Structure 1
Amino acid sequence: MNELLNGEPPSGYQELLGYRLSRWEEGSADLTLLVDARHLNRAGVVHGGVLTSLLDTVSGFSATYCPHEGRVRRVVTLSLSTSFLGQARDGTLIATGRLRGGGRKIVGVAAEIRHAGTGALLATSEGMFKYRPGCENPEGVER
């Protein structure tokens, strides 16, 4: 397993939502989320805000892989366009992000969320992300 998956403590937001980084490599990443009651809206389905958070987060990871020990890369979201295509009430969700290209400081990322059990496509996104100072370099910055 990629040692970077355990390379830094979870953020407060990660703990709040309960997602896990399950794959991370140059240009792509996966997050998994086991759906529970905290993720559901009043209609009993996963809230669109949860889906959007997963899309945004997996997109950021896909653009910031850094294999150098003690160093990180970070981005900020400039824009994120989302489409909701399905619903889930339970099970495990898998969010996948893929770096699509861009320049030295601004990059584009596509992401999607599927239900692990059924394969149903729940949501997609296209986003633009800007590297924080120094993070545009593959070696990143000191943690």
Structure 2
Amino acid sequence: MGDHDSEFLHGAELSGFHSLLGYQQAEWVEGEAVIALELQPRHLNLAGVIHGGVLTSLLDIAMAQAGTYCPYPGRMRKAITLSLTTTFTGQCSGGTIRVTGRKRAGGTRIFNSTGEVHDDQGNLLAIAEGTFRIRSGSDKPEGVPI
């Protein structure tokens, strides 16, 4: 899906595609990230339910974040998605969804994560797994300057 970074962890504005999605960082610790999205009409498909591309993008972001936590202000870590598999399990048309990514395994450069999306009633909307590669300079916790 692309590059992922942690610039929004420290309150900076979301940029590019991240801004287009319009999510909020709910939680982020080593090995786990949670993002939340209040659904808007732009997130829905022609049938009036959340678009699978939105779900997949959010899963991709949260799962990459799970392996790239950076606790240092003004710095970030980056990863590139190598593979991503998404399974859709439900639908919703409104409210706020929560996307959780968890790092499951990995070495110094490659890691694996799983993800889940739930609506605000706790219904499971999608699950995913992915493999990510840490970009050069991001292999240490201090990452690189933003």
TM-score (norm 2): 0.90
Deviations 1:90-123 (A, max 9, x none): 111000000111111000010110002x100000
Residue ranges of structure 2 left out of the alignment (5+ in a row):
1-7
**Residue in structure 2 matched with residue 100 of structure 1 by the alignment:** 104
Are residues 67 and 6 of structure 1, via their aligned partners in 2, closer, same or farther at CA, if it must alter by over 3 Å? closer
Other structure's SS at 2:63 match: helix
| Distance in 1 between residues matched to 2:84 and 2:15, nearest whole Å | 21
> How far 1:18 sits from its partner (Å)?
1.3
Contact 1:21-1:32 at 8 Å conserved across structures: yes
The one of 104, 116, 122 equivalent to 2:125 is 122
Deviations 1:17-47 (A, max 9, x none): 1111111111111110011111111111101
The one of 73, 80, 85 equivalent to 1:81 is 85
Pairwise mapping of residues 31-46 of structure 1 onto structure 2 (< 5 A)?
Answer: 31-46=35-50
TM-score (norm 1): 0.92
**Residue in structure 2 matched with residue 30 of structure 1 by the alignment:** 34
* Percent of aligned pairs sharing the same letter: 49
Residue ranges of structure 1 left out of the alignment (5+ in a row):
none
**Residue in structure 2 matched with residue 136 of structure 1 by the alignment:** 139
Q: Does the alignment pair 1:60 with 2:68? A: no
Instruction: Count residues in correspondence.
Output: 139
| Distance in 2 between residues matched to 1:70 and 1:10, nearest whole Å | 14
The one of 4, 10, 23 equivalent to 2:14 is 10
